[in-house]
Copies of this chain bind each other. A is one copy, B any other.
Amino acid sequence: LHIGMIGLGKMGMNLVQNMRDRGIAVTAYDLNTAARTQVAAYGATAVDSLAALVQALTPPRIVWLMVPAGTPTEQSIETLTGLLSPDDILIDGGNSFYKDSRRRAAALSAQGIHFFDAGTSGGMAGARRDGNFMIGGEEDVFPRIAALFQAIAAPDGYLFTGPAGSGHYLKMVHNGIEYGMMQAIGEGFEVLAKSEYDYDNAAVAKMWNHGSVIRGWLMGLAENAFTADPNLTAIKGVMHSSGEGAWTVEEAIRLHVPTPAISAALMARYRSEAPDAMSGKVVAALRNQFGGHAVDHQ
């Protein structure tokens, strides 16, 4: 196996190391020169352009794109469309919107290029080893890349999910579930924090992660976080988001699927982005208007 890897950020760099550990040859490209230098230390060959990357691979090629969703992915695929040959395989391992992936698959297919959308979970640690992949694309072409996923995924940790788009769709829903699970965990620890008891958050998370119904990777990560900062005093509770949770709710709206918990989690994220909210001002002003209830002033 010889993989062309485009994008050496947090995920791409770990994936290269993962592949190298499994004896997979990697030719890698990133805009960033330092990343190109670093990747060589893992035994990959760095090149300085997409054209060079394509040239370094013997057709039929396998190219893995691991750049941010949106414009970077769009532009890379546009360029690659002009460089790749019929029967080459292009894998988008990023968090692209599934409709984009479906559109790209159709466009590439017209040129004989096989597109796979590979939703990638497991975080940086999973990219590094024992990753998790949900892969959409042409079923009869998938066998050509099955060994790649077999090598870099956790045992049983990859799945061919159907036609192009189905991989990123599943990753989108995965992230929606993740939003709900994380919010629920956060809410639980906030109840504990305000309770009359004096819990050791790290010890609680560790205990819950060993044998309880809510054990899982997130609980283990909570243990790590609380071990580093027992009450998370150093950080703000601003919950940024990169889109998949929002897409899940938008898709739920489109399909008329009730997703109250995931929606509540999404709304909690938006609420966290600012210290105050206009909605609260309106309610406070209304209470003042009808009942003379005091408002807090700036």
Contact = CB atoms under 8 A, between A and B. Distances in A.
Interface string A231-266: 011111111100000101111110111111111111
Contacts of A191: 173, 176, 248, 251-252, 255, 257, 259
Contact of A211 (B126, B285, B297): B126
Given A195-B255, A222-B286, A281-B236, A207 B159 contact: yes
A252 B279 CA distance: 12
A15 interface: no
Interface string A260-298: 111111111111110111111111111111111111111
A165 B197 contact: yes
A288 B169 contact: no
Contacts of A294: 240
A188 interface: yes
A144 interface: no
A40 B113 CA distance: 63
A125 interface: yes
A225 B286 contact: yes
A7 interface: no
Copies of this chain in the oligomer: 4
B268 A279 contact: yes
Contacts of A224: 289
Interface stretch (A58-66, A76-84, A104-112, A148-156): A148-156
A72 interface: no
A280 B237 CA distance: 4
A125 B290 contact: yes
Nearest to A14: B292
A204 interface: yes
B255 A260 contact: no
Contacts of A278: 186, 189-190, 193-194, 232, 237
A287 B239 contact: yes
Contacts of A248: 188, 191
Contact of A267 (B195, B251, B263): B263
Given A190-B277, A285-B232, A213 B156 contact: no
Nearest to A232: B281
Contacts of A158: 207
A216 B213 CA distance: 9
A261 B179 CA distance: 10
Interface of A: 10, 121-126, 130-132, 134, 153-159, 161-163, 165-166, 169-170, 173-174, 176-195, 197-199, 203-204, 206-219, 221-222, 224-226, 229, 232-240, 246, 248-253, 255-273, 275-298
Given A132-B210, A156-B210, A235-B284, 14 more contacts: A122-B290, A180-B184, A184-B184, A186-B286, A187-B259, A189-B278, A237-B276, A237-B278, A239-B283, A253-B270, A258-B268, A259-B267, A268-B280, A275-B275
